[in-house]
């Protein structure tokens, strides 16, 4: 076992006993999920993959889909068109808060639900989900699919999301019919991934949009810069400040229990554990990201010791 794999195994062993938090309760499939699995995966920009724990169990992407949809909207519709309907400011609010700018009607950013619905609507409705799944698959390095049952449950229970879509439509900030935009947003959240997929997605963002395993340039580097900037400010909603202080990396959580963290130019980290804190983020996931960032000295505001030959050092988890 190599040094980084041993390090991740140590982190997994250290964090595994933490059983605080509850699984998401508002989606039946998530409410019935086993709360115990815990996977970690780390992919480097030179294509190395390291895993620990339950890294190959599938779960739904949920809100980790939001920065990916935002990236595709920026590439296909352009910065000006996207900026006209979605701002780039931190909201400091929960992910599902009904809040739009008073004067413009724009959502604060693309990572809260209202902003993600607006971003989704900017993609052509014909074949939208096929395009999104293809794009997500390019980022993960394999073909992905959406779970129809989870998507249906999210739509049937998504009255708040539908309300936001209608409100966006009333301001002229929705490029599609509200129900269709919400349906596709829910289907995107229901995309099934593994912790390993999360690591490759995050590593592709860390590698300026080029997948480290396939070599495919999936996202334009300027789009990656924009997406990572918004993730830094808004990816963790109303705990974004504490996340930035403790982890110091662009990140995104999902109520399925997944988290991605991106160390630009170095690596992508994926973690999955279904028990969530009060902000809707995986308890074990946040703790894992804290340890990995600290021990590998990844904090974007930190001063770092000289790197090892592979650009990373792998101390024992403490």
> What residues act catalytically?
63, 66, 185, 237, 255
Q: Looking at residue 236, what DSSP letter applies?
A: T
Backbone angles phi, psi at 121, to 5 degrees: -65, -20
Burial class (CB in 10 A: 0-12, 13-18, 19+), 159: exposed
Which residue(s) pair with 252 in the sheet? 260
d(CA 105, CA 79) in angstroms, rounded, equals 18
d(CA 162, CA 229) in angstroms, rounded, equals 28
How many angstroms separate the Cα of 52 from the Cα of each of 62, 84, 317? 22, 42, 13
d(CA 45, CA 200) in angstroms, rounded, equals 9
Query: Alpha helix locations (H) across the chain?
Result: 3-15, 28-31, 65-77, 79-83, 113-121, 128-140, 148-156, 159-170, 178-189, 195-206, 221-234, 240-246, 283-295
Question: Do residues 133 and 182 touch, judged by C-beta distance below 8 A?
Answer: no
d(CA 163, CA 174) in angstroms, rounded, equals 12
d(CA 2, CA 121) in angstroms, rounded, equals 45
Nearest Cα neighbor of 197 from 139, 147, 146 is 139
């Amino acid at each position: 076992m190599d040094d980084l794999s041993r390090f991740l195994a140590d982190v997994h062993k250290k964090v595994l006993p933490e059983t605080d938090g509850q699984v998401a309760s508002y989606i039946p499939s998530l409410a019935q999920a086993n709360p115990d699995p815990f996977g970690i995966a780390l992919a480097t920009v030179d294509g190395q993959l390291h895993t620990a724990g339950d890294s190959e169990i599938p779960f739904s992407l949920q809100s980790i889909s939001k920065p990916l949809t935002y990236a595709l909207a920026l590439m296909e519709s352009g910065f000006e068109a996207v900026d006209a309907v979605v701002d780039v400011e931190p909201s400091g609010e929960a992910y599902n808060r009904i809040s739009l700018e008073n004067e413009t009607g724009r959502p604060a950013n693309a990572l809260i639900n209202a902003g993600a619905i607006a971003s989704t609507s900017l993609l052509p409705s014909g074949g939208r989900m096929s395009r999104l799944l293809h794009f997500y698959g390019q980022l993960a390095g394999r073909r992905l699919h959406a779970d129809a049952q989870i998507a249906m449950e999210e739509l049937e229970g998504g009255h708040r999301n539908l309300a936001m879509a209608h409100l966006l439509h009333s301001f002229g900030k929705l490029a599609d019919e509200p129900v269709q935009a919400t349906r596709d947003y829910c289907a995107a959240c229901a995309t099934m991934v593994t912790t390993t997929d999360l690591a490759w997605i995050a590593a592709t963002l860390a590698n300026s949009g080029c997948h480290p395993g396939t070599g495919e340039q999936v996202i334009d580097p300027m789009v990656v810069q924009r997406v990572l900037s918004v993730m830094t400010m808004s990816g963790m909603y109303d705990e974004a400040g504490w996340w930035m202080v403790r982890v110091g990396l662009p990140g995104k959580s999902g109520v399925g229990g997944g988290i991605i963290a991106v160390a630009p130019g170095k690596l992508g980290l994926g973690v999955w554990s279904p028990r969530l804190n009060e902000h809707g983020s995986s308890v074990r996931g946040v703790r894992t990201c804290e340890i990995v960032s600290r021990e590998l000295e990844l904090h974007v505001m930190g001063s770092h010791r000289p790197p090892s030959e592979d650009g990373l050092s792998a101390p024992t988890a403490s």
